[in-house]
Structure 1
Amino acid sequence: MSAPRPPARRSSGWVIGHAVGAPIILAPSWLIAAVVLTLIFAPTVRARSENLGGLVYVVALGFVVLLFASVLVHELAHGLMARARGQQPREFVLTLWGGHTAFGGATPTPGSSALIAVVGPIANLVLAGGFLAVAQGVDERSLVGLLVWSGCLTNAFVGLFNLVPGLPLDGGFLLEAAVWGATKNRHTGTVAAGWVGRIVAVLVFAWALLLPLALGRQPDLYDVIWGALIGAFLWSGASAAVRGGRTQKAVGLVTVASVGRRAIGVAHTESIAQAGVLAASSGAEEVVILSPEGRPAAYVDRAAAASVPADAAGTTPVTAVAVPLPGGAVVDGLLTGQQLVAAVGRATEHSPVVVALVDGRVVGLIRAMDVVAAIRS
């Protein structure tokens, strides 16, 4: 029910309030869930009180609102703990499948990740206990009793189901934190918890379809449909987690040497032949042309340089086969992993090719497409 990952932009929907500095958003898909669940609850309400008439749907909607209020408490618990651990919540969103909380950055430690994940289910289990205590003093056959017991059962379900150890559930984040702490690698934990989440998705559908068959009875169509929907939701979230974990692991391995080509800087006054000699002597594949001030100003188009006849290369200036570089098309060659990828991303807003510098010296030439290819592979 929770997804503590920062979104690229604010989710669409209606802002119905704010908490701890973040908007509470009601997603359009929530309306679909509200209508469907109201229709599902209505027969139960009618069975308890046949004299309500059309009001049966109003009461059923009350149950739905209570359910989503429980989900909101769940998400607010995540947000409050996140802020206590140094992360500012960016939004709380109520959706078709419950809700999610987005934070303003990656959780810094396994302990923080585990605490943020576990408080949501704990909040629901505390609410379930409170409803259970109130239920002792009301007639369970009355509408009030039905409402109270509904609050007890829905909170117990939300709390316990979210503790199942597989992403995208909160129990998955607990498993991720445990593997992360044991291996010292968050991405390994993400992939492991994502695969367990896939197993959970399959088991949910199997419970609805295969278990009845194993017991010698026909599966209930209602259970099969809900099992398929919930299983598909879990499979999608778990698969996204597996892909994300693998991608982030690949990002963590990115270096200038792995995504760039070794380069050397030469003066703008050099000839093509001399630039080639300097590159060969240093083992460089690329040549960067420096401005009079020593700034990377261009790089050599190798195809164009190769087309220059050998007898003319010694007298042809290297600037004749140059591709200009705009200002800002440089990155720190000592950066690695996410920092390097982010720096290349900023620099390639101006140029698809950037120069890596170490202490002002040219060490590499990086093309954006090579970074993308390295991460995907």
Structure 2
Amino acid sequence: MSNSARPGAPGWVIGRVAGAPIILTRSWILAAAVLTLIFAPTVEAAAPQIGAARYVVAFGFAVLLFGSVLIHELAHGLMARARGQHVEEFALTVWGGHTTFSGVAPTPATSALVAVVGPVANLVLALLFWLGAQAGPSTGLLALLLYAGAISNGFVGLFNLVPGLPLDGGQILQAAVWQVTGDRHKGSVAAGWAGRVVAIGVLVWALATPLAQGRPVDLFTVVWAALIGAFLWNGASAAITAGRTNRNLESLTVESVGRRATSVPVQATLADVDRARGQAQADEVVILSPDGRPAAYVDQAAAAAVPPEHRAVTPVSAVAVVIPVGAVVDARLRGADLVRAVGHVTRTSGVVAAVQDGRVTAIVRAADVIAALRS
């Protein structure tokens, strides 16, 4: 075991599978402690003579459960790798675990297969634990652990198949909507809303079930249901936001976020600017340096303040705003490539010139790109 010195989930690297590290996060210690305290009374009831050792057995159940979670995550990762995706890490956390991939599933079928194998692995483990319990004595600590393993794996497997993000069933629903509509992001939004319904349903179940049975509401159960519901709600909301943002991202082009531009040489006057803008039906005018590089753009407010009788003798340089060297992007870029290019260039300038085939076609402002992504 060694400290993780890599970006990603903070914790300890306890092994590697398919080239990806298995990370035991610090939050797992909290989860293991809570599970130990919850399961200890059950161990004591099954073996009253065990005394303080009940906590050791209960901790063994926590380790057993997280081992099942690890198998769940490994199933995701190995299927993803078999379908051509790269696995970056497996992490065990307070909420169970997660597997991180570089990039997204290329097809709905891959997305659905990667999602479904995790719950299936738990259901297979549940069957194996149950068969093991049936094969041995019906009482005792071993039987207790085997039955607990069967029940917990069965619950994890079935609960994860509920159709709502961030659960695996939500990934399957997202893949189904993607397959039907041809739009991955519609699938994310639909499965995210389903996940919100599931989150509310978890809390309603914790409150309504005891009331319907004439029992008092258990505060401990309600608190846990609220925590799980909050986790599911946040994950579902993140999926909805990501779906909408990524849809906007894919549709992003220079034409959609930029302002049409034309160009004039550096020796031009404002009268030349007016003619060039009118002929090209452009919104912006870029000033070219002697070597043909976009060197500046016209400050429209400053240009508008120059009286008509002075425009023919006013040099364009008098109303110019400098465009730093290199503040240029390819006008044919779109989507994530366009955002990356603009983001890189706007470290030195909030405005960039879009150029295609050596000709300036538009002015792009970083603020307009951000607004388009948020809209």
Measure the CA separation in 1 of the matches of 2:346 and 2:329: 10
Q: CA RMSD in A?
A: 1.7
Q: How does 1:33-72 map to 2 (within 5 A)?
A: 33-72=31-70
Q: Which moved more, 1:229-238 or 1:244-253?
A: 244-253
Could you tell me the percent identity over the aligned residues?
Answer: 60
Q: What does 1:274-285 correspond to in 2, within 5 Å?
A: 274-285=272-283
Q: Structure 1 pair 82/328, CA: closer, same or farther in 2 (3 Å)?
A: farther
How far the C-alpha of 1:336 sits from its partner, in A, is 2.6
Q: Deviations over 1:152-203 (max 9, x none)?
A: 1111111111111000000000000000000000110000000111111111
1:362 aligned to 2:365?
no
Give the conservation status (yes or no) of the 8 Å contact 1:328–1:350: no
Residue in 1 that maps onto 2:320: 322
**TM-score w.r.t. structure 2 length?**
0.94
TM-score (normalised: structure 1): 0.94
How far has the Cα of 1:300 moved from its partner?
1.7
Equivalent of 2:125 in 88, 109, 127: 127
1:199 equivalent in alignment to 2:191: no
Query: Who is 1:85 aligned against?
Result: 83
| Among candidates 241, 258, 261, match of residue 259 of structure 2 | 261
Paired letter, 1:100 = H
Partner of 2:349: 351
Distance 1:337 1:108 in 2: 17
> Are the counterparts in 2 of residues 42 and 60 from structure 1 also a CA contact under 8 Å?
yes
Alignment of 1:185-224 (within 5 A): 185-224=183-222
Which residue is 1:137 aligned to? 135
Q: Partner letter of residue 37 of structure 1?
A: L
Task: In structure 2, give the amino acid aligned to 1:303.
Answer: A
Query: Does residue 292 of structure 1 match 2:290?
Result: yes
Q: Distance in 1 between matches of 2:205 and 2:95?
A: 19
Check 1:23–1:328 CA distance in 2 against 1; reply closer, same or farther (3 A cut): farther
**Quick check: 147-156 or 190-199, which moved more?**
147-156
In structure 2, distance between residues paired with 1:127 and 1:263: 63
Given that 2:263 and 2:276 are in contact with CA atoms closer than 8 Å, whether structure 1 keeps it comes out as: no
Which amino acid counterpart does residue 294 of structure 1 have in structure 2? Answer: G
**How many Å separate the matches in 1 of 2:286 and 2:14?**
55
Unaligned runs of 5+ in 1: 1-7
**Greater relative contact order, per chain length (Cα 8 Å cut-off, separation 6+):** 1
The answer to whether the Cα contact below 8 Å between 2:192 and 2:236 also exists between their aligned partners in 1 is: yes
Aligned to 1:354, the other structure's residue is in SS state strand
Report what 1:17 is aligned to: 15
Matches of 1:243 and 1:46, distance apart in 2: 47
1:20 is aligned with what amino acid?
A
- Contact 1:255–1:335 (8 Å) recurs in 2: yes
Which deviates the most, 129-138 or 234-243?
129-138
Q: Is the 8 A contact 2:210 2:217 kept in 1?
A: yes
How far 1:9 sits from its partner (Å)?
A: 4.9
Q: CA deviation at 1:326?
A: 2.4
**Count, aligned residues:** 370
SS of corresponding position for 1:52: helix
Give the partner amino acid of 2:257.
Answer: V
Distance 1:328 1:26 in 2: 45
CA shift for structure 1 position 348 = 2.0
More divergent stretch after superposition (275-284 vs 109-118)? 275-284
State the shift of 1:295 in Å. 1.8
Deviation at 1:45, TM superposition (A): 0.7
